[in-house]
Amino acid sequence: MKKAAIVLIVISAVVVGYFVLRPTQPALQPALRNDATLRTTTAGDVVGFIGDHGAQVWLGIPFAKPPVGDLRWRTPRPPEPWEGARETLAVGNICPQMASLLSGDGLNPTRKVAGAEDCLYLNVYAPANSSELPVMFWLHGGGNSIGHGGSYNGARLATARDVVVVTINYRLAHLGWFSHPALKTGLPSDDSGNYGTLDMIRALQWTRDNIAAFGGDPNNVTVFGESAGATDTLTMVASPLAAGLFHRGIVQSGGLRITPMSTAQNYASDGGHEMSSREIVNHLLVNDGTVADLRTAQARQEDMQPPDLRDYLYSKSVEELFSMFDTSMFGMINTPDVLGDGYVLPASNAEEILSDPDKHNSVPMILGTNRDEPSLFMARNPEYVDTFLWIFPRLKDEASYLRAVKYGALAWKERGVDSLATYLTASGNPNVYAYRFDWDEEGSMMGYDLSKALGAAHALEIAFVFGNFTEGLGLGYLYDASEAKDALSDSMMSYWTEFAYTGNPGTGRDGKDPEWLSWGTDGKSSIILDTVSDQGIFMMSDVVSKASIKLAIVEDPEIADQRERCTYYVRSFRWSGDFVQDEYDNLGSQGCSAYDPADLDGF
């Protein structure tokens, strides 16, 4: 056992170090205040500094009161005014999360929990002497449980393409999304459970009220985000409270699945999530020694009066609230989020929301995924990877690995792009654009071919969008120096910012890129984004549907056996709620009834 544990530690240290992120807050010289950046906000004056590429930068501006004390699990309030000029020279606290690379804690965190509840800060990057420029408002990814806005340097995107970039923090995990009946106040927003979502809306309200002072146009705001941030972008589209606060949306590797309130609140035995609010209370009662086990905890919880249970929850420290979780999966934890409370977010599904123009905020949209999305999470998975001499990773079976990546990526594209584009265009929105990011020109790590192991993996497009390959989420060690890579980044920044200006990426800000057609125009669907040294940039006609994925799984002659076929079905449809037991049992000529889906569902 000890030997196996050492292997896992070594694999994690080596592979995560290459595949995920280097620390997001590298040691830098303190920024020097520059009074040319003095600006007035509704809460007081702020002064920033001159950053990379000559950008004017303001870091750590509060956009809400600290959500501490009685404001934990409550709607964010506007910030308290201050006197004098507040220096905004460093990012604010990150929101509480499990310590990880994304929190800046390195490969071997010395603390289990990072961040502080006083964390509602945003950052602004603007060209010098800017005025009425489009605003690009970034929502970070991380499963809505890790990450922070300070990881993303918007200086190059802002200065190269004349936009104002805003990045924000928002409450995470069960501090951001948590609905327990004992916390109810009778106020719909306070009782929604969607505190992270409300933080984003509050930051958009701050942007509406203040961004003109920083050179931005409050009437031209593009919300864009990746992964969970892309899902959160779609929640802005779905939320009636966000109406009028933004004017375009870019969804990078996202999707929209609303969590029912019963799932978020109920005990697991009553159909709730394994980490629903009631289950979290059970764990807290066990962890602090109040009761001996989870069964006893449920009985104790049922006996507690709502005021006492509320006081109990508010008495818990951040460390105690995270005590039942570990730091696997890069620190991400599995708690319910994006709750269908009926006020902040509709208690409905993506098709019902996005197909009806009266049920969402209809704005021009870009939707996209990466060709090899799941490889980021698979490339260190012992199911697929062996190690040689303890530290050298190798794919066990390259062909089966690439098949698994393909089917996982197709399912992601179906739920994150093609189905959503179909819904939005059905609602009458003519300005829907789709892409697939295909860049896969990584080198090798100790003989491990990253172009195969990672390829166009989840999150790798972020560096191209921000034009930054060396810090934060740049993953600089994956991106070899290349004129073709830099040219692709320039094209993507050009498309993204032309969309921010006009709602149509067209031929980019420079007017020199291949034309990006809206969904369904001339029979085309998505644009492929790749280097000229590979495929280049071009429109394609393919549309992925649930039916096409299922047919491909059934008919694929390269699939080795029925168990493998059944595995692809389970993993393609487990997250989207489209798993159909009867269809699974009768898949293909042999069916899958011999295989318990729970045994196949497992990154």
Model confidence at 59: pLDDT above 50: yes
**Residue 552 falls inside a structural domain:** yes
Q: How far is it, in rounded angstroms, from Cα 151 to Cα 474? A: 10
Model confidence at 20: pLDDT above 50: no
Catalytic residue check, 526: no
Sequence-distant (≥ 6) Cβ neighbours of residue 294 within 8 angstroms: 282, 283, 286
* Residue in 227, 277, 494, 518 annotated catalytic: 227
Model confidence at 19: pLDDT above 80: no
Q: How far is it, in rounded angstroms, from Cα 473 to Cα 152? A: 7
**Residue 526 falls inside a structural domain:** no
Sequence-distant (≥ 6) Cβ neighbours of residue 270 within 8 angstroms: none
The answer to whether 188 touches 315, Cβ cutoff 8 Å, is: no
187-196, 377-386, 413-422: which has the minimum mean pLDDT?
377-386
Phi, psi of 566 (to 5 degrees): -65, -35
Q: What average pLDDT does the segment 412-416 reach?
A: 97
pLDDT for 328 equals 63
* Residue in 117, 226, 373, 471 annotated catalytic: 373
| The last residue of a domain, from among 281, 301, 331 | 331
Where does the pLDDT of residue 602 fall: very low under 50, low under 70, confident under 90, or very high at 90 and above?
A: low
pLDDT for 109 equals 62
Where does the pLDDT of residue 9 fall: very low under 50, low under 70, confident under 90, or very high at 90 and above?
A: very low
Where does the pLDDT of residue 441 fall: very low under 50, low under 70, confident under 90, or very high at 90 and above?
A: very high
Q: How far is it, in rounded angstroms, from Cα 391 to Cα 13? A: 9
Structure tokens at 249: 């949306």
Identify the helix (H) or strand (E) that includes residue 448: strand 448-449
**Residue 302 falls inside a structural domain:** yes
* Residue in 277, 458, 491, 526 annotated catalytic: 458
pLDDT for 102 equals 76
Where does the pLDDT of residue 71 fall: very low under 50, low under 70, confident under 90, or very high at 90 and above?
A: very high
Model confidence at 473: pLDDT above 80: no
Where does the pLDDT of residue 488 fall: very low under 50, low under 70, confident under 90, or very high at 90 and above?
A: very high
**Residue 550 falls inside a structural domain:** yes
Catalytic residue check, 227: yes
**Residue 539 falls inside a structural domain:** no
Q: What average pLDDT does the segment 484-494 reach?
A: 98
Q: What average pLDDT does the segment 489-495 reach?
A: 98
Q: How far is it, in rounded angstroms, from Cα 232 to Cα 200? A: 8
Q: How far is it, in rounded angstroms, from Cα 354 to Cα 237? A: 8
Q: How far is it, in rounded angstroms, from Cα 501 to Cα 425? A: 21
Q: What is the edge-to-edge ordering of all strands in the sheet holding 56-62?
A: 49-50, 56-62, 121-126, 164-168, 133-139, 216-226, 248-252, 365-370, 432-437, 526-529, 538-540
Give the number of domains in the chain. Answer: 2
Model confidence at 26: pLDDT above 90: no
| The last residue of a domain, from among 309, 331, 353 | 331
Write the pLDDT tens digit of every residue in 80-120: 999 999 999 999 999 999 998 778 776 556 778 999 999 99
Exposed e or buried b for every residue in 449-458, given b needs 16+ CB within 10 A?
ebebbbbbbb
pLDDT for 516 equals 98
pLDDT for 316 equals 98
Where does the pLDDT of residue 574 fall: very low under 50, low under 70, confident under 90, or very high at 90 and above?
A: confident
Write the pLDDT tens digit of every residue in 297-344: 999 999 999 999 999 999 999 999 999 998 665 789 999 999 999 999
Q: Which residue range is the domain that position 572 belongs to?
A: 546-600
SS3 of residue 251 by DSSP? strand
**Residue 505 falls inside a structural domain:** no
**Residue 553 falls inside a structural domain:** yes
Q: What average pLDDT does the segment 23-34 reach?
A: 64
pLDDT for 105 equals 74
Structure tokens at 233: 């972008």
**Residue 162 falls inside a structural domain:** no
Catalytic residue check, 494: no
| The last residue of a domain, from among 307, 331, 355 | 331
DSSP, residue by residue, 347-368: SS-HHHHHT-GGGS----EEEE
Model confidence at 23: pLDDT above 70: no
Which of 104, 1, 87, 77 is closest to 44 using CA atoms?
87
